[in-house]
Structure 1
C-alpha cells in the first residue's frame, strides 16, 4: 500500500473517472457499431437516420447516462488510515459491491459484446455475400446485357 497524498475529494473523483471512462467508452463503441451496421447494411436508411444532429444527441445521452450511473462512486470511496499511511479505498467491504460489479459486467461488457458480435456478423454476411453475388452475378449480367444490347440493335435496324 502506498500513501495517498491527494485527499478524499481526489480519491472519489479518480475512482469515479476510472469507471466513467470505461463505461462511456463501451457505450460509445456500441453506438458506433450500430451506426456502421446501419450505414453498411441499410445505406438508404442511413442517409435519413445517421445525421450529425442525431449523433450529437446520442453522444450526449451516452455521457449523461454514464455520469449518472457512475456517480455513486463519488460517495463510495474513503480515505483510511493504515498505520502511518492514508490509503484511498472503498467505503464498504468489496462483497457489498457485487451487485454493482455484476450490473457493470452485464450493461457495459456482455450486452455490448453480444450486440457487436451479431452486428459485425451481419455486416460480414452482407459484405461477403455481396462480393460473391456480384462476381457470380456479374458474369450473368454481362451475358444478359450483351444479349439485350444485341436484340436492341436488331430492333433498330
Structure 2
C-alpha cells in the first residue's frame, strides 16, 4: 500500500508507460485546490472590474487607461490559465494532448502581451514626464489603440511560430502518458529569452530610470525655489504626471519581480523539452502578478475604488452613478490626486 510520499502512476492501467505523481494527503490536496481556485476566481473577478470600469466610464478613456485596460484583459485571461494549473498540482495531465497545446499557447501569448503592454506603459510615462509639452500630440487614443492591437497580434503570430512543433505534433514530446511537455528548439528559446525578457526588461529599466532622474531633479528645483514663472504651468503638469508615473511604477516593479525568476530558471536549466509541472512555482509566481495588479489599483487609484463601489451597488445601471463618477474623476484631476 502506497504512502503519501511514494510515487504512484497517473494511469495505473498503462503500467510503466504512465507518468508518476506524488501522492499528497487528502487535506493538503483539498487545501491546494481551494487556494488555486480562489486565486483563479479573484484574478478573473478583480480584472473584470477594471475592464468594466475603464470601458464603461468615458472620462477614463485616456491613452494611459487604455494601456491599463489591455493589461487587465491579459490578466483576466491568466485567471483561466490558473484553472489548467490546478490539473498539474500532482504532476499529472488528464485533459489530453490538444488541451495541453492550447494551455501552452495561451500561457505564452497572454503573458507576452502583458510584457508588451508594460513596455508601452513605460513609454507612455516617459513621454508624459520627460516631454510633457508634446505629450498630448505624441500620445493619442488612436495611437495607443494601434500599439495595443499590434502588441496582441505580434504576440499571437510570434508564439504561433515559436510553438509550431508543438501545434503540429500534440503530445509528441511527452516522455510518458499523463505529461504535458513543451518543446522549444534551442534557437527559439534564445529568441524568446531576448525578445520576451532581455529587451523589454532593458527598455523598462532605462525609461523608468530616466523618469526617476527627472522626478528627483524637479523635486530639488522646487525645494530650492529655482522656478521660472514661464515654466510654472508645465511643472504643474509634470507634478500630476509624476504621481501617475509613481503609481504605475509600482505596477512595473512588481511585474518585473514576478517575471524575473521565471527567466532565471530558464537560463539555469537550459532549453529543450520542459515538463510544465517542474516549473509550477516560478510560473505560478509570474501568473500571480495578474492578481496583484488590480489590488494595486485599489490602493493607488481613487477613481477605481469609486467605480468598483458603483459596480457592486449596481448604481452603474443608472445615469446617476455615471455623473457622480464623472464629477469625482474631474475633481481628482483638478487637484492632481488621480
Please, what TM-score do these two structures have when normalized by structure 1? 0.75
- Structure label with greater radius of gyration: 1
Q: Structure 1 residues 17, 141: closer, same or farther in 2, change over 3 A?
A: closer
Alignment of 1:109-124 (within 5 A): 109-124=197-212
- Correspondences of 1:3-152 after superposition (within 5 Å): 3-72=92-161, 73=163, 75-76=165-166, 78-79=170-171, 80=174, 82=176, 85-90=177-182, 97-136=185-224, 138=225
Structure 1: which 4+ aligned runs deviate by more than 6 Å?
Answer: 139-142
Contact 1:34/1:119, CA 8 A, preserved across alignment: yes
Instruction: Could you tell me which runs of 5 or more consecutive residues in structure 1 were left unpaired when the two chains were aligned.
Output: 143-157
TM-score with structure 2 setting the length: 0.37
Q: Deviations over 1:86-135 (max 9, x none)?
A: 43324xxx5x6221111111111111111111111111111110111122
8 Å contact from structure 2 (residues 221, 227) kept in 1:
no
Equivalents in 1 of 2:227, 2:204: separation in Å?
35
Deviation at 1:13, TM superposition (A): 0.8
How far apart are the structure 2 equivalents of 1:54 and 1:140?
A: 33
Determine the C-alpha separation between the residues in 2 that align with 1:47 and 1:130: 21
Contact (CA 8 Å) 1:30, 1:112: kept in 2 or not?
yes
Q: Is the 8 A contact 1:27 1:62 kept in 2?
A: yes
For 1:140 and 1:35, the matched residues in 2 are separated by 26
Give the SS at the match of 1:5.
coil
Name the CA distance, whole Å, in 2 between partners of 1:25 and 1:64. Answer: 12
Aligned length, in residue pairs: 135
Q: How far does residue 3 in structure 1 lie from its aligned partner after superposition? A: 4.3
Partner Cα distance (2:160, 2:154) in 1:
10
Task: Indicate how the Cα distance of structure 1 residues 139 and 108 shifts in structure 2: closer, same or farther if over 3 A, else same.
Answer: closer
Query: Corresponding residue for 1:148?
Result: none
Distance 2:131 2:222 in 1: 18
CA 1:42/1:5 → structure 2, altered by over 3 Å: closer, same or farther? same
**Unmatched runs of 5 consecutive residues or more in structure 2:** 1-18, 20-90, 230-338
Distance across 1 between alignment mates of 2:158 and 2:131 = 32
Structure ranking higher on relative contact order (CA contacts 8 Å, 6+ apart): 1
CA–CA separation in structure 1 for the residues paired with 2:227 and 2:118: 40
